[in-house]
Amino acid sequence: MATNKKLHLPKRKKKKSRQQNKLGKAPGTISYMGDKERGDSVIYSTSYNVNGFETNEYENLDQFLKEDSSDKITWVNVVGITDEPFIEKLGKHYNLNPLVLEDIVNTEQRPKIDEYEDYIFGIFRMLYISEEDEIIGEHIAIILHENTVLVFQEVKADVFNGLRERITGKLGRIRTRGADYLFFALLDAIVDNYFLAIENLNNRIENLEEEVYQNPEPIVAQNIQQLKKEILKIRRWIYPVKELISRLIDSENPKITKDTKLFLRDVLDHAIEINESLQIYREMSMSLMEMYMSNMSNKMNEVMKVLTIMASIFIPLTFIAGIYGMNFEHMPELHYKYGYYVVWAVMILLFVGMMIYFKRKKWL
Amino acid sequence: MATNKKLHLPKRKKKKSRQQNKLGKAPGTISYMGDKERGDSVIYSTSYNVNGFETNEYENLDQFLKEDSSDKITWVNVVGITDEPFIEKLGKHYNLNPLVLEDIVNTEQRPKIDEYEDYIFGIFRMLYISEEDEIIGEHIAIILHENTVLVFQEVKADVFNGLRERITGKLGRIRTRGADYLFFALLDAIVDNYFLAIENLNNRIENLEEEVYQNPEPIVAQNIQQLKKEILKIRRWIYPVKELISRLIDSENPKITKDTKLFLRDVLDHAIEINESLQIYREMSMSLMEMYMSNMSNKMNEVMKVLTIMASIFIPLTFIAGIYGMNFEHMPELHYKYGYYVVWAVMILLFVGMMIYFKRKKWL
Amino acid sequence: MATNKKLHLPKRKKKKSRQQNKLGKAPGTISYMGDKERGDSVIYSTSYNVNGFETNEYENLDQFLKEDSSDKITWVNVVGITDEPFIEKLGKHYNLNPLVLEDIVNTEQRPKIDEYEDYIFGIFRMLYISEEDEIIGEHIAIILHENTVLVFQEVKADVFNGLRERITGKLGRIRTRGADYLFFALLDAIVDNYFLAIENLNNRIENLEEEVYQNPEPIVAQNIQQLKKEILKIRRWIYPVKELISRLIDSENPKITKDTKLFLRDVLDHAIEINESLQIYREMSMSLMEMYMSNMSNKMNEVMKVLTIMASIFIPLTFIAGIYGMNFEHMPELHYKYGYYVVWAVMILLFVGMMIYFKRKKWL
Amino acid sequence: MATNKKLHLPKRKKKKSRQQNKLGKAPGTISYMGDKERGDSVIYSTSYNVNGFETNEYENLDQFLKEDSSDKITWVNVVGITDEPFIEKLGKHYNLNPLVLEDIVNTEQRPKIDEYEDYIFGIFRMLYISEEDEIIGEHIAIILHENTVLVFQEVKADVFNGLRERITGKLGRIRTRGADYLFFALLDAIVDNYFLAIENLNNRIENLEEEVYQNPEPIVAQNIQQLKKEILKIRRWIYPVKELISRLIDSENPKITKDTKLFLRDVLDHAIEINESLQIYREMSMSLMEMYMSNMSNKMNEVMKVLTIMASIFIPLTFIAGIYGMNFEHMPELHYKYGYYVVWAVMILLFVGMMIYFKRKKWL
Amino acid sequence: MATNKKLHLPKRKKKKSRQQNKLGKAPGTISYMGDKERGDSVIYSTSYNVNGFETNEYENLDQFLKEDSSDKITWVNVVGITDEPFIEKLGKHYNLNPLVLEDIVNTEQRPKIDEYEDYIFGIFRMLYISEEDEIIGEHIAIILHENTVLVFQEVKADVFNGLRERITGKLGRIRTRGADYLFFALLDAIVDNYFLAIENLNNRIENLEEEVYQNPEPIVAQNIQQLKKEILKIRRWIYPVKELISRLIDSENPKITKDTKLFLRDVLDHAIEINESLQIYREMSMSLMEMYMSNMSNKMNEVMKVLTIMASIFIPLTFIAGIYGMNFEHMPELHYKYGYYVVWAVMILLFVGMMIYFKRKKWL
């Protein structure tokens, strides 16, 4: 719940210069759009078939390109996409379209699956929960190319550890299947992790709900708005996936076997479910704001009641005291023996009467 | 109406660990996702044809698998789905796809109907009203497989008692029809029970409406929000059913006879009607919140009026008393014989004038 | 306008028992779902052709079934649908599907048109305005069956008087046409009466609008909400009709002649227009609520202004009086000859200054 | 801006009797539905071809029917549609369907284009701005019938003056084209005038916007609501036109030449643009209301601040004065030589402190 | 942030006269609709092929028309479209339809792509950021006509500088491709600049967000509304582009090569992304307004609390002081030696009690 107490406005990215830099350049120009510091790319390659597997790490591109593992399924994991010449050279090796290379390094690219003659190319957002319990969305590009699946990611952290274990530990059927199954398995891992983001949102909604009911401070409203924005952002990453997978299933691409399509339908199911959840969370966050406003009104009502009760009781009493504070020469009551006590009695009666009145109005 | 007085926030399920456990596992891994305690599964089997029927209860899977009732329609009711090896073995016997088995034990799975070569597989939510007048949604899987209909449910309670009576009591046409009619009858029973949930929501809306008009306390707003959330939840369970049945009717699956399709159209009608009701309830719950806010404003207005009337009447009077409470040496009024009475007269006149003013403004 | 003053919450129907009674019964079970008291059904039959017409009233079903009027168009009007065996027997005579009979007595059934091999079956809501100026919606079932049109209604009141006059008075072309034209004419009469409901809603909106502007009491808000609910209810009855008629026109059913389709298109036009009106009324009722809220705020503002003006003027004046009500020994002003008058002058100046200030702020 | 100051609620049309009169009548009954006084119809006919043109005015129908101008394009303009026998006779001459005649005199008919075998029949709303700067919507019927275009309108005022000038002045290509081009030109004139209505709405929105910002009185809210209603009304007239023209273009009706379709596409473009504008104005009118509410809140805030500042400053000061107005025998301060001055000093300090506090809170 | 401080209501264009001028004119009449001052048009022509390029500037139309560059790709840039005869003459040279010419000079024309037999004609809005950081939308018309691409723009400023450099500097592949690639490249440049507008909106939303949180003055609400209106305006310009490009890709127009379609798909991707962003900004601007209202309520609450606390504390204390300011003869307390001190003590106790009460209520 503590996470709701502080408000972290998103850091402003200095996107402007980047967007402007790209203006006027020819399409197909490979130009890194993200905000990571420039560094070298590293290739982690995993080759496997039913008989065994092999993992390698290459910091030198040429060395990697020399290797040949055509009899195996190869998962080529490129970490770091800031080095444009590196990407270009690798792209040439696999004969990739310049537009594909442009998208690989365009970290703002929305999810898409494009089918080319020799390969299927997909861009996704890989979501995971950071240690600060925030949802991180990393740009990821996946290319299914004959026996090879190329994966491009910005940082080493990813959501594929379970998949790696299944390959190395020979769990499940992955080692017995083709590259299209690996492609599916990567997609499956990405979509499965969306559930964690969904869960994270759910927890935050529940925390905010509790706070709205118990302690509706202005910071809560800000956090609700922040949540809304984050749901919008995540929806943008997740929403297209449903449509993309559905189209891939319907396409008659021979690179995807009928068997793998059955599995893709499972991923599609998950994608639909996640979209539904997001939709519900969106409506719930709107309800939360409504609830917050209603609680604010409640509090205002309460404040007004206290003021009204105090003023309504004591203003008339003060008036009575004021009367007998006047200095007229001829005020008979002032000289009555019990005048003072009678006034007290009247005041107490008034007070009690008021109290009963407010009780009846249920203001007390 | 009492049910609206207390607010029960939904118990937080500890989903996280479960979701995370599943991450990285191969698709088709059978892993129970619900929150019931693990226990043994029990099989209740009902075989029937026009001539008669037979019911059996098996706690031992192997014993069940030995039975043969190929000349009858068999309804196999599996209660308890926490025992994954049990499910797997049963699945192998009927040659079910691992993805199907995964969905059977995934209690979070959204409703779906998948048509496989040998069988039709459906996941639904069975809704019934608990004794505490709450809507319970239980995960249920139904498989139409030649002469057999397999039903998987988490707990023994279900909505099929009427159906059982019709089989055992030879009521209606069920005993004379095939397994597809049983499949339909199960679906029909599930959808018919949605009407009870709809009715429950309707009653709650009517109760809340009455309370909003008569006694708009903050708890009412919370209950309205709670209702909204529940409508969202139930809609998610019910909404896909319409589409699923419609697709089943349109599909040319030979397992569903033309006659049964006529009955399925009736179920479709009901599903559409239920969706319309849910939609209307959603709009009504929004109206309720609006009404609540308007009543809050009304109350605030009333409080403000009391304050304004009290202050507007007595502050000027107190001012007059204050005047003649001043201690100036030269204040001729103080020495007038009837000064005191004149002041009283002025005050009473002012009071009456104010009252008339407020009466005219309809504040009194 | 008086109708807006009182709030009539809808009477709660005891639906529950009925819904529950139906649970578990086989589909096709004929079970009256309405809230009318059980009674006998009466058959009013009108047979006509170009040459003449004949009207009969049968309280005995068997007697009716003996009659033969195959050379004429027969309009069979069944009033009262609570007698299930009666309905069943009649249904058997005309060879109607049990699902049709079930729908005839299910007064909650949403509008539908189903085409069977031998007949076309439609369920509609017949709307008319009661003497208390309320919109009444009666369940009605119409079956076009060769030369016969069967109409089932709960009560005798209906919207077909004009149609009867056209048959008996030989007005228009109805006597020269087939049963499909009668079917159309019934539909046309039902849809034409929707305009009266629309008009009724329109009048209520205009009355409420006037009240919102002139006298925005809480009861007005409740009446707006009541109106919204009624619009939702009526939309549910009217909305599907558009789609149903459109489908009937597009279907290639030989029972509907091309000529009649032209007339049906006219009905479709009306149905579309009515739906548009309902949509507009819905938006207008939302605007009304908004307007009500804005008027509430206005009133609050006015109350606050009165309070603020009174308090802002007299509190400082009272303070000044308080100053010279202090009992210090050494207060030189008290001994000035014109001190009292100077204080009065200061007070009057302050008062005038305040008045000017508030005038400028347009609070007065 | 003055137009926003007064509120003119729409005059209530006495529709009821008319609607009810129509109930029960046979379809195709020609019955005027508008609110104009009954009067004679006048025919203005314009015949033209490349060589010349001729205009005639007939108050007598028979005389008109005798004329023959089969070698020319004839534009028959019927002004006044209250005379049903006149319409019927004319309709018979051109062999029009009774349903068409019914629609011609039904001034409530929504826009439509129906294609009959011999003619194309369209109903539209002709919008123009009255001298009081209000948007007037007149019912108009257009029939394209071989070489003749029939136009039916309620009053003489119309939007076709430019078109007339083009025919008589031989401007543009109209004299060289067929009747379908005339049909298009009429439609074009109608749709072009929608832009004036759009402009009128735009001006009113801008005026209201200014007033909302500068002088948010309750009358402004009412005018915003009035605007919203008018937008709804106009949208209902304009919205279907887009769809109708689009369908006419797609239809393979030989009466419309390919060349004219190119021009119709231009009209379609305009219709789409007008619909977009209406949509935007609708959203803007909602924003206006929101803005009005926000300004109301602002004003309330300001009122509250004045009250709070006055009360917070003077209530404590009055309290201090009250203290030293007490009549205790033993109050040492009263006898201090500078007691009075010290109290003044304390009060001034308090006053200054308060002022600083409110300044810091930015309430001053 | 300073840009949010001042409110610039949009200048009212005097559209009326222009719209009215156009009324009644024949379609295809070339009539400039913009608000620029009339002036001469200038033609900037750039011819290129793989071997070289040539740029020319013509102020005289005839001189330009004499030139022949049929062996090259020619980009004809017409700056200034107020000179209707100029446009007409140019149009005749290229055999353009009058409707096309009408659209070229109609600066209010919404985006469209029309395919004619000999050419493809497109209207777009070119967006760029002015020096005052405002989004400027300029009308632009592009025609792909064999080897020539005609571009019509109102002012010289445009978004094609990068493109010009690529042609003159022989960067990228543009010099090696056909006119359709140039057409694409112009479109690409226009759509790429939409990102700058999107960015500008994003910055403004972020600034407004900060201000709403920190300093919610009325001007902020006005700026939010202003932003909303601008988003609506820009959406109208950008929204159709997506659909237009998509249709162009799907059309089988031989003028667009398959290769160029691949690039167009990239533009389509961008257009979709931009639309998504606009949609999100729209929702965010609504959230902003909501947040503003919630902050207003907060502030009101705070004001009310200060008032309530001050009044609740000092009104009772003043009452006590009033009591002992009464002038009754018989008031024993007045004569007590420590009466005065006891009253002080009571007052201080009351004060402390109140403070604790408000602390507990969290109002302090």
Grouping H, G, I as helix, E, B as strand and the rest as coil, residue B336 is coil
- Is residue D316 very low, low, confident or very high in pLDDT (cuts 50, 70, 90)? very high
Range with the poorest average pLDDT among C110-124, D167-181, E145-159, E223-237: D167-181
Report the gap between the CA of B357 and the closest CA in chain A (Å).
19
Residue B94 has pLDDT above 50, yes or no: yes
The answer to whether E140 and E126 have CB atoms below 8 angstroms apart is: yes
Q: What is the mean pLDDT of residues A312-321?
A: 93
DSSP string covering D128-192: EE-TTS-EEEEEEEEEEETTEEEEEESSS--S-HHHHHHHHTT-TTGGGS-HHHHHHHHHHHHHH
The pLDDT of residue D15 is 46
**Residue A337 with chain E: CB contacts under 8 Å:** 330
- The string of pLDDT tens digits covering residues D74-108 is 999 999 998 889 999 999 999 999 899 999 999 88
Report the gap between the CA of E117 and the closest CA in chain A (Å).
29
Report the gap between the CA of E64 and the closest CA in chain D (Å).
29
- The string of pLDDT tens digits covering residues E155-203 is 888 889 888 888 888 667 788 888 999 999 999 999 999 999 999 999 9
Grouping H, G, I as helix, E, B as strand and the rest as coil, residue A324 is coil
The answer to whether E208 and E245 have CB atoms below 8 angstroms apart is: no
**Residue B27 with chain A: CB contacts under 8 Å:** 185, 188, 263, 266
Q: What is the mean pLDDT of residues A184-190?
A: 93
pLDDT averaged over every residue in chain A: 87
Q: How far is CA C37 from the centre of its chain?
A: 24
Pseudo-torsion of CA B307, B311, B313, B315, nearest 10°?
170
**Residue E114 with chain D: CB contacts under 8 Å:** 265
- The string of pLDDT tens digits covering residues B291-347 is 999 998 888 888 999 999 999 999 999 999 999 999 898 888 899 988 999 999 999
Report the gap between the CA of A161 and the closest CA in chain E (Å).
31
Report the gap between the CA of E41 and the closest CA in chain A (Å).
26
- Left, alpha or beta for D220 (phi > 0: left; psi -120 to 50: alpha)? alpha
Among the listed residues D265, D240, D237, D263, the one whose alpha carbon sits nearest the alpha carbon of residue D127: D237
**Residue A283 with chain B: CB contacts under 8 Å:** 228, 232
Contact (CB<8Å) E326/A340: yes
Report the gap between the CA of B294 and the closest CA in chain A (Å).
10
Residue with tokens 């299947």: A177
Contact (CB<8Å) A266/B99: yes
The pLDDT of residue D67 is 78
Total residue length of chain B: 364
- Distances from the Cα of E301 to the Cαs of A217, B310, D303, E305, in angstroms? 11, 22, 13, 6
Among the listed residues D348, E321, A311, the one whose alpha carbon sits nearest the alpha carbon of residue B313: A311
Grouping H, G, I as helix, E, B as strand and the rest as coil, residue C256 is coil
- The string of pLDDT tens digits covering residues E263-295 is 999 999 999 999 999 999 999 999 999 999 999
| Euclidean distance between CA atoms C79 and C157, whole angstroms | 9
| Euclidean distance between CA atoms E49 and E74, whole angstroms | 9
Q: What is the mean pLDDT of residues E23-41?
A: 80
The pLDDT of residue E3 is 42
Report the gap between the CA of C330 and the closest CA in chain D (Å).
6
Give residues 169 to 188 of A whose Cβ lies within 8 Å of B: 171-174, 185, 188
Contact (CB<8Å) E301/A300: yes
The pLDDT of residue A20 is 65
Going E331 to E332 to E333 to E335, the CA torsion angle's sign is: positive
Chain A CB within 8 Å of residue B300 CB: yes
pLDDT averaged over every residue in chain B: 87
Contact (CB<8Å) B293/A295: no
Chain B CB within 8 Å of residue A57 CB: no
| Euclidean distance between CA atoms B150 and B142, whole angstroms | 6
Task: Name the neighbours of A, counting chains with at least 3 Cβ pairs within 8 A.
Answer: B, E
Chain D CB within 8 Å of residue C263 CB: yes
DSSP string covering E31-63: ---S-SPP---EEEEEEE-SS-EEEEEESSHHH
Residues forming beta bridges with residue B112, ordered by sequence position = B123
| Euclidean distance between CA atoms A297 and A290, whole angstroms | 11
The rounded percent of chain E whose pLDDT value lies above 70 is 92
Contact (CB<8Å) D298/E16: no
Among the listed residues D302, D310, D314, the one whose alpha carbon sits nearest the alpha carbon of residue D362: D302
The pLDDT of residue B70 is 73
Residues forming beta bridges with residue E137, ordered by sequence position = E127
Total residue length of chain C: 364
Element containing residue C94 per DSSP (H, E): none
The pLDDT of residue C38 is 83
From the list E29, E296, E326, the residue facing D298 with the nearest CB is E296
Contact (CB<8Å) E199/A23: no
**Residue E295 with chain D: CB contacts under 8 Å:** none
The pLDDT of residue C75 is 93
| Euclidean distance between CA atoms B73 and A102, whole angstroms | 61
Task: Name the neighbours of E, counting chains with at least 3 Cβ pairs within 8 A.
Answer: A, D
Give residues 90 to 109 of E whose Cβ lies within 8 Å of D: 97, 99, 108-109
Determine how many CB atoms are found less than 10 A away from the CB of residue C67.
13
The pLDDT of residue A170 is 67
A55 φ, ψ to 5°? -120, 140
The pLDDT of residue C50 is 86
Q: What is the mean pLDDT of residues B81-97?
A: 91
- The string of pLDDT tens digits covering residues A77-88 is 999 998 889 999
| Euclidean distance between CA atoms D103 and C3, whole angstroms | 35
pLDDT averaged over every residue in chain E: 87
Task: Name the neighbours of C, counting chains with at least 3 Cβ pairs within 8 A.
Answer: B, D
Q: What is the mean pLDDT of residues E101-122?
A: 91
For residue E22 the two structure tokens come to: 């156009």
| Euclidean distance between CA atoms C344 and C331, whole angstroms | 17
Rg (CA), chain D: 34
**Residue D112 with chain C: CB contacts under 8 Å:** 269
The answer to whether B136 and B143 have CB atoms below 8 angstroms apart is: no
Contact (CB<8Å) E329/A335: yes
Q: What is the mean pLDDT of residues A32-42?
A: 83
**Residue B310 with chain A: CB contacts under 8 Å:** 308, 311-312, 315-316
| Euclidean distance between CA atoms E326 and B322, whole angstroms | 11
Q: What is the mean pLDDT of residues C142-168?
A: 89
For residue B279, give every residue at least 6 positions away whose Cβ sits within 8 Å of its Cβ, in sequence order, or none: none
> What is the DSSP-derived secondary structure letter of residue B234?
H
The answer to whether A154 and A139 have CB atoms below 8 angstroms apart is: yes
Q: What is the mean pLDDT of residues C163-189?
A: 87
pLDDT averaged over every residue in chain C: 87
List the strands of the sheet with B135-145, edge to edge. B53-58, B42-48, B73-79, B148-153, B135-145, B120-129, B112-115
**Residue D363 with chain E: CB contacts under 8 Å:** 303
Residue D71 has pLDDT above 90, yes or no: no
- Distances from the Cα of B82 to the Cαs of B12, B38, B106, in angstroms? 21, 5, 10
Q: Locate the chain B residue with the closest alpha carbon to C318.
A: B319
Contact (CB<8Å) E19/D195: yes
The answer to whether D73 and D182 have CB atoms below 8 angstroms apart is: yes
**Residue E7 with chain D: CB contacts under 8 Å:** 213
The pLDDT of residue C13 is 46
Chain D CB within 8 Å of residue E17 CB: no
Give residues 328 to 357 of E whose Cβ lies within 8 Å of D: 331, 333-340, 343
The answer to whether D15 and D86 have CB atoms below 8 angstroms apart is: no
Q: Locate the chain D residue with the closest alpha carbon to C294.
A: D293
Element containing residue C120 per DSSP (H, E): strand C119-129
> What is the DSSP-derived secondary structure letter of residue E146?
T
- The string of pLDDT tens digits covering residues B134-156 is 899 999 999 999 889 999 999 88
Residue B362 has pLDDT above 80, yes or no: yes
| Euclidean distance between CA atoms E32 and E87, whole angstroms | 10
The pLDDT of residue A49 is 87
The pLDDT of residue C4 is 43
Grouping H, G, I as helix, E, B as strand and the rest as coil, residue B87 is helix
From the list C162, C265, C284, the residue facing D23 with the nearest CB is C162
Total residue length of chain D: 364
Chain B CB within 8 Å of residue A303 CB: no
| Euclidean distance between CA atoms B198 and D53, whole angstroms | 70
The pLDDT of residue D19 is 62
- Is residue A1 very low, low, confident or very high in pLDDT (cuts 50, 70, 90)? very low
Contact (CB<8Å) E316/A315: no
The answer to whether B7 and B37 have CB atoms below 8 angstroms apart is: no
Q: Which residue out of C108, C230, C306, C343 would a mutagenesis test of the B interface target, given it has the greatest number of B Cβ atoms within 10 Å? A: C306
Element containing residue D301 per DSSP (H, E): helix D258-323
* DSSP helix, strand, coil percent of chain E (3-state; round to 5): 55, 15, 30
